[in-house]
Amino acid sequence: GALGGVGLGLWRWQQAAMAASEGDEDEKEEEELRQRFMAPPVSGLRELRRRRRELRSRMELLIMETQGEVCRALAALDPGAAFAVDTWERKEGGGGISCVLQDGEVFEKAGVNVSVVFGLLSEEAARQMRSRGKSLKAKDGKLPFCAMGVSSVIHPKNPHVPTMHFNYRYFEIEEADGTKQWWFGGGTDLTPTYLNEEDAVHFHKTLKEACDKHDLKLYPKYKKWCDDYFYIKHRGERRGIGGIFFDDVDSPSKEEVFQFVKSCAKAVVPCYIPIVKRHCHDSFTPEEKLWQQLRRGRYVEFNLVYDRGTKFGLLTPGSRIESILMSLPLTARWEYMHTPPESSKEAEILEVLRNPKDWVH
């Protein structure tokens, strides 16, 4: 009996030691995660780790990591500037982290936002989704939803460095009978002031490689979708030279779409940062700076008139206007009836914006 007591005591001590060691491992892992993020995640680290197998948690970890990766890569190129990290809460449910760098030497304005929001979908937002073919069956007029994503717009100072935008998001809606509808959306696109073929090819090739890991049909399909989506109808031109764009993707399976989105998110830094490095010290003229300001005006027009994410944000109760309008440049310009001279470098970019090119074949 006494020996049995010793055995039991030893067993308990081993269990306690294992639990302590697991606790140490947990703390170590949490510390590593904290170092990769710009701020603590909206759902809390403990909660995310507790639900680590659920896709919602894995997606939140992915968007947090993407935010950290992109912010660190941008800050390394603009050491004199620092990101303001702004954590906010939404009283209807959820919140977000906005990281914004303003007035740096390289970047005029660079914003990288994460948001994780949940609650009840507004009637206006539900109507917008139904218009896209979603059959949403509400219970007593209520549709519980969860939406999360990482979104970024980078406006450099030098007109020879392109503006870049990316966004990757996940959406889940619970219908009246308890079934859940889910889908992913996103994309990465480039908006140069002047055309540089080498940059365009590098950007598109990097995105194509990310898509090709999953299915060779994805890049051509999502490249066309991007060209069609970022179309400023009243100008008859695209916002930029495209990239990839997709929405409402819910097949072949949740896991496969998540892995595809992960590959796209991981391609953001390699598709863009080399272009910034190549041109951030290029010399430029006042005329080139003026043309950049006019192109920025087009960027604003698209975002305020057509962009679905901006519209959805403005229609969501409790949404944060500062974060939604973060995509707008610090400066832009609208001149009456401005037309660049024929055969100029300004006319060259307009030609590509009116007639999209295939950059990878």
Enzyme catalytic residues: 165
SS3 (DSSP) at 98? strand
**Cβ-proximal residues to 232 (8 Å cutoff; 6+ apart), any chain:** 238, 239, 298, 301, 302, 305, 306
- Rounded Cα distance, 332 and 221, in Å: 32
**204 HSE (CA, 13 A, CB side):** 24
CB 272 within 8 A of CB 197: no
Q: What distance in Å separates the CA atoms of residue 45 and residue 57, rounded to the nearest whole number?
A: 10
| Cα three-residue angle 313-186-47, rounded to 5 degrees | 75
Under 8 Å between Cβ of 118 and 172 = no
Distance CA 350, CA 148 (A): 35
Residue 135, classified by CB atoms within 10 Å of its CB into exposed (0-12), middle (13-18) or buried (19+), is: exposed
Task: Tell me how far CA of residue 334 lies from CA of 162, 324, 331, in angstroms.
Answer: 19, 22, 11
Q: Is 283 helix (H, G, I), strand (E, B) or coil?
A: coil
Measured CA to CA, the distance from residue 229 to residue 249 in angstroms comes to 15
Closest CA to 329 of 164, 149, 99, 151: 164
Element (H, E) at 173: strand 163-174
Select from 244, 235, 243, 358 the least CA-distant residue to 295: 235
> What distance in Å separates the CA atoms of residue 187 and residue 198, rounded to the nearest whole number?
21
